[in-house]
Amino acid sequence: MIYRFRVTFEDHDEIFREIDIRSNQTFEELHVCIQKSIGFDNAHNASFYISDDYWRKGTEITLKNETEQEKKLMAKSKLGAFIEDPHQKLLYLFDFNAGWHFYIELIKILDADPKSTYPRASKSAGIAPNQYKIVNIAPPVVEDEDEEEATEKKEKIFSSEESWEDEDAMEDDMIEVKDEDEPAEEGDEAEPEVAEDPEE
């Protein structure tokens, strides 16, 4: 015998999954199938509650017992032992800190298909919301870095200009020294200085 459950997000009625599962399979198998069908990571504790038509919590069946109270475990609890109503309702809570709540309702009882593997998601509607809230982290400020780089470039340019000026000055000095020491070329002999006659 196959149970077909419709799983709906508490705040998103338009998003749901239909899960087909054998009556002799466990709540843990139903839990894992739900997690896969909505794309959650199954990294947190969860509990099913047998509920009435008003979604009031009844017997709790938990994935991991994290309290000292004696509770029923999903891995040891078969669905058929808890489903009494052909329209049985279940509350499914996942990640108690984040507070994900789901409404689960038995909508059909089917014969098993020998070609199918159970549990399986037989129908899917809507994209599940993100499991974790997305935190926007401001990107690092690049403007300061650009200003620093620009300042460094300016300093390099100024320092290089100064070095060019120094080199030019050195070349001028060298040229002047060279003109003083260089002998006169032939034909360009300097005329001897004529001493003035003191009597004149």
Q: Where are the alpha helices (DSSP H) in 22-142?
A: 27-38
Do β-strands 57-62 and 72-73 pair in parallel, antiparallel, or remain unpaired? parallel
Q: How far apart are CA 130 and CA 39, in angstroms?
A: 9
For the 2-125 domain, the top CATH level (class) is: alpha beta
State yes or no: pLDDT of 88 exceeds 80: yes
Of residues 182 and 133, the one with the higher pLDDT is 133
Q: How far is CA 57 from the centre of its chain?
A: 36
State yes or no: pLDDT of 125 exceeds 70: yes
Q: How far apart are CA 4 and CA 23, in angstroms?
A: 10
Q: Quick: pLDDT tens for 99-122.
A: 789 999 999 999 999 999 999 999
Instruction: Choose among 129, 126, 132, 131: nearest CA to 6.
Output: 126
- Look up tokens 């009882």; give the residue: 109
9 sits in which H/E element:
strand 2-9
Q: Quick: pLDDT tens for 143-187.
A: 555 666 666 665 655 555 444 455 555 555 554 544 555 555 555
State yes or no: pLDDT of 126 exceeds 70: yes
Amino acid at 54: Y
pLDDT at 109: 95
pLDDT at 164: 47
pLDDT at 135: 62
Q: How far apart are CA 199 and CA 86, in angstroms?
A: 151
Confidence of residue 197 (pLDDT cuts 50, 70, 90): low
Strand order in the sheet with 57-62: 72-73, 57-62, 46-51, 89-94, 100-110, 2-9, 12-22, 120-125
Domain ranges of the chain: 2-125, 149-177
Confidence of residue 97 (pLDDT cuts 50, 70, 90): confident
Q: Quick: pLDDT tens for 22-77.
A: 999 999 999 999 999 999 887 889 999 999 999 999 999 999 887 777 889 999 99
